[in-house]
Amino acid sequence: MFAVGLTGGIGSGKSTIADLFATHGVTIVDTDVIAHRVTAPNGAAMPSIAHVFGPGFVAPDGSLDRAKMRALIFSDDTAKARLEAITHPLIRSETERERAAAQGPYAMIVVPLLVESGAWKSRVDRVLAVDCTVETQIARVMRRNGFPREQVLAIIERQATREARLAAADDIIINDNTPLERLAQEVRQLHQQYLALAGAALP
């Protein structure tokens, strides 16, 4: 199935734009949702997590004890990499499974860290980046999540820069104070383009 990777920094508008593509019948595969699912109660990563980190990292409901894992990652430099060595392959295979099962003309895979993790870029046929200013990101995430400004900035600083994301993109949607009707119009145009590309990629 032809796949467009949708990426952008926190609060750039990925979910808003994915929702607009979904209205055209495009299947949305969200890697954040999948990442959460693999460590949810009895998620696919839980047996390996219990084995590698010990049963103490499994909460009574069978999910990852996130507070305990956060504390470990904070104090042990290798813990994050060990956790990701378990979760990332599972997230990738589950994403591929959903992509293969997708209905509709093509799939859109939402990958917040597409630019940061090189492996994703080669797995999609096209990259669509959502771009807005850092100030817009901060204002949106403060409002949406109730985070203080410094916390939002700290998250943004750990993500790729706007420049790096734009350099990796085939297509760009600018989403600063953009009215929803205007976004919907841009999505409609891109959707036509992706339909043509997906059609041309058929065997």
Q: Which residues lie near ligand ADP (CB under 6 A)?
A: 8, 10-16, 140, 144, 175, 178, 183
Q: Measured from the CB of residue 49, what is the shortest distance to ligand ADP in angstroms?
A: 26
CB of residue 144 vs ligand ADP: minimum separation in angstroms?
4
Judge whether 111 and 31 are in contact, CB under 8 Å: yes
Cβ closer to ligand ADP: 94 or 131? 131
- Residue in 197, 183, 201, 196 with CA at minimum distance from that of residue 21: 183
Tokens of 107: 């799939």
* Shortest Å, Cβ 63 to ligand ADP: 23
Considering beta carbons, is residue 156 or 183 the nearer one to ligand ADP? 183
Q: Which residues sit opposite 29 in a β-bridge?
A: 109
Supply 75's token pair.
């104090």
Q: What six digits make up the tokens of 139?
A: 């204002």
Q: Distances in Å between the alpha carbon of 165 and those of 3, 35, 107?
A: 18, 21, 20
**Minimum separation from the CB atom of position 11 to ligand ADP (A):** 4
Report the candidate in 36, 32, 35, 58 with the shortest Cα–Cα distance to residue 46: 58
* DSSP β-bridge partners for residue 7: 129
User: Shortest distance, CB of residue 195 to ligand ADP, whole angstroms?
Assistant: 23
Nearer to ligand ADP, 8 or 43 (CB): 8
**CB nearer ligand ADP, residue 45 or residue 95:** 95
Task: Classify 203 as helix, strand or coil.
Answer: coil
17 or 49: CB nearest ligand ADP: 17
